[in-house]
Structures are given as structure tokens and as C-alpha cells.
Amino acid sequence: KIPVWLDCDPGHDDAVAILMALHLPQIDLLGISAVHGNASLHNTVRNAARCLLAFGSTEQIERIQVYAGASEPLIRMSRVDNEIHGEDGLGGVEGLPDASDPAVLAKLEATRGQSAVLAIADAARALPKDKKLVLVATGSFTNAALFVSLFPDLVRDKVDKVVVMGGAEGRGNRSPTAEYNILTDPHAASILLNHEISVIMAPLNITHTAIFRSHDNETLLHAGQTPDADSLVNSTPATTSSSHPVKAHTPLRHTLHTLLNFFAATYKHVFDFDEGPPVHDALCIAYLARPEIFRSKRYRVDVELEGTYTQGTTVVDLYDYRKDELKDWLEDSESRKSWGKLGKNAELLEELD
Ligand code: BDR
Ligand code: CA
């Protein structure tokens, strides 16, 4: 199993990523951290705990901790996205425990005052010799940038890669050219992309091919595709064995239906998407579980930090224009020798079977 840490800003599609990370057999979810983004940190950390409690097994609910990370971007002001995800980040979703449910509060209390970034480091450090952590980031990259900056040696030894949802080749979503996760903290994105760690990126170009369509909704509501999926979507949230039982609720089938339909409605309203919403963040987890269904290519990717109209835009160097500019820099620095790694600093997921 791949040891995974999920850093997220739930968020409807983040919630799908949490569900998949908890249940795909290829993945061993070690911890969850929240970051500002779709909603305030106050809400995203509660939402992460609500999802864990609703989707996890009793064992996972007890073992996996949820940490609050950065509440603000490194430099610019935060920018929540109520229009897409509702007031609290998970608008319209039925069947999750409330944010004030004692089980949610107990989960948050367990890590109160602890740093998310240190928790990620501890999880990497605690892995056996032959294992390395995969950090998945599906919100803005503030926590991820802090982690790779603060722990360069640990990252080199014990982190295999960072898999992120973010960026776009061309058209953006929350500005004409910028994608939301990059736009919310462009400086953090730039730090992550310029770090020597291997970065795999799921940009809008591929996430907009992973649409939850109305026939998927029919399947979700009426028939599972496999006995496992069927028993999962028919289950009600686990009851913790602690003194705070989760107050549950409707079958997961209904919870997912309300989640994806709210998301579909906001995508229709904001972007006039008729087909259904892209489940952006879920692709990071799908990639880890089934890399063979993706095609990818390495590029130099820079983040526009100052542009008058283009702040947060990912500039993807499709034709290697920057190769010569970067040559000296690449040759000068000890850890930055290979064009293969840092020059072409991100592997972009381009197609999905
Ligand atoms: C990204 O922004 C958020 O709305 C989603 O959760 C996803 O991570 C898509 O641009
Ligand atoms: Ca997200």
C-alpha cells in the first residue's frame, strides 16, 4: 500500500478524494490536514473531520488524525469560494455529522494546537526504511510549500513525491487564466514547483475530462458497479467506539448524491456546465491507485506571481523555451543539476482513459 498524507480544503471534490483515499485498497491514508481555500480554515478542518467520521471505518476514525494547517496564504489575502462550495465549504451535503457534533469536536480537540506541517514530517519519519510518503495536496499549496521548505533532508529521504490538483494549460477557472488552488496561494505554488521534490500535477485540462454525469448519478442512486462499491454506498457512517458516537444518518449513496448534485448546480450556475461537475481532486487519488490509466508528460511550469491580469497562472513551457534561460541556474546548483527533474519541474497528467 502507498502511504499517503492528504492535505485538502473540503470542498465537494476534496470530500470525494477523502472517500477514495479511505477506501481504495492501494492506499494507506496516514493523516489529513486542512488548509484555507474553498472555505475558511475553521470550516475546512471541520469538514475534513466530518468526512472522515462519515466515510471512514471505525478503525480509520480512531487512527487517522485531522490537523489544522495554514489559515492564510503566504503573501496574498485569502479568497474563499462560497459561490462554488457554499457558505461552509460543503453546501447542500446531507448525511454528514454536523460541525458541532461531539464526535467532530473530539476529533479536532485531539490535535488542537499541533502543527499540521510537523505532523506530516512525523508521519514521514515514522515510516519503515523501505517506504516513502506521498503527499497529496488538493487545496492551496501553503501547507505543502511550508513542509518542503522546512524539512529538505526529510523530504529527500522519506518523501516520494507530491501529487497535486492545480494549474491549467491555457484557460483558468477563477480568473481567465488561473486555476483556483494556484490563485489562492501563487507563492506557495511557486515554492513547491521549484523544490527538487517530484511534483505530479492534475491541471484543469485533465480534471475537466472527469465529469460526474447524470448517468453516473443514476448508477450511484440505483446500482453499484461491484459488490464492494454497492456495500460501501449502502452503508451508513460508522459509529465510533469512543464516548462520542457519530450521529448518523443517511446511506452514503444519498450523501454522495446530495454532494455531487450541489456541485453540479453551482457548476451550472457559475460556468454554465451542462454535463456535470468535474471531480477535480479525486484524480490525484485515482492516479495513485491506477497510474496506468493516465498519460503524462514533464514540463517546465512557472507561476505568474505579479501579472496585472494573470496572477496565479501556470505558465507551461510546452516547447522548452526556458531551457536556455535556466541552463546556468541548473548547472550551478548542486541539487538542481538535472533538466529532467528541476528544469522540467512538473509532470502534468494530460489524458485519462
Ligand atoms: C480546485 O478548486 C476547488 O474548487 C476544488 O476543490 C479543486 O481543488 C479546482 O480548481
Ligand atoms: Ca480542493
Q: For ligand 1, what atom is nearest to the CA of residue 9?
A: 6
Strands 199-202 and 346-352, by their bridges, are parallel
In this structure, of 99-103, 128-132, 176-180, 237-241, the range with the lowest mean pLDDT score is: 237-241
pTM for the whole structure:
0.94
Residue with cell 492551496: 140
Please give the residue that has the higher pLDDT: either 60 or 342: 60
For residue 98, name the pLDDT band (cuts at 50, 70, 90).
very high
User: Do 273 and 204 contact (CB within 8 A), yes or no?
Assistant: no
Read off the pLDDT of residues 212-242 as tens digits, 9 standing for 90 and up. 998 888 888 876 556 667 777 777 665 444 4
Residue 59 has pLDDT above 80, yes or no: yes
Q: For ligand 1, what atom is nearest to the CA of residue 180?
A: 10
> Looking at residue 333, what is its pLDDT?
67
- Ligand 2 center from residue 142 Cα (angstroms): 13
Query: Which entry of 12, 85, 244, 280 is annotated as an active-site residue?
Result: 280
User: Do 14 and 281 contact (CB within 8 A), yes or no?
Assistant: yes
Q: Is 280 a catalytic residue?
A: yes
Ligand 1 environment, Cβ below 6 A:
11, 13-14, 38, 81, 84, 138, 165, 173, 179-181, 280-281
Looking at the CA of 84, which ligand is closest? 1
In this structure, of 27-41, 155-169, 236-250, the range with the lowest mean pLDDT score is: 236-250
> Looking at residue 255, what is its pLDDT?
93
Provide the CA 71 distance to its chain's centre, in angstroms: 16
User: Do 55 and 47 contact (CB within 8 A), yes or no?
Assistant: no
> Looking at residue 241, what is its pLDDT?
45
Complex ipTM more than 0.90, yes or no: yes
Distance CA 47, CA 8 (A): 10
> Looking at residue 238, what is its pLDDT?
55
User: Do 11 and 139 contact (CB within 8 A), yes or no?
Assistant: yes
> Looking at residue 340, what is its pLDDT?
64
> Looking at residue 315, what is its pLDDT?
97
> Looking at residue 228, what is its pLDDT?
67
Residue nearest to atom 10 of ligand 1 (CA): 180
Q: For ligand 1, what atom is nearest to the CA of residue 207?
A: 9
How high does pLDDT run on average in the chain? 91
Tell me the best of 142, 281, 285, 314 to mutate to test the pocket of ligand 1, counting ligand atoms within 8 Å of each CB and taking the most. Answer: 281
- Name, in order, each residue with C-beta under 8 angstroms of 243's C-beta and a sequence gap of 6 or more: none
Task: Sort 62 into a burial class: Cβ within 10 Å, 0-12 / 13-18 / 19+.
Answer: middle
Please give the residue that has the higher pLDDT: either 122 or 322: 122
**SS3 at position 159:** strand
Read off the pLDDT of residues 19-28 as tens digits, 9 standing for 90 and up. 999 999 999 9
> Looking at residue 232, what is its pLDDT?
73
Please give the residue that has the higher pLDDT: either 59 or 229: 59
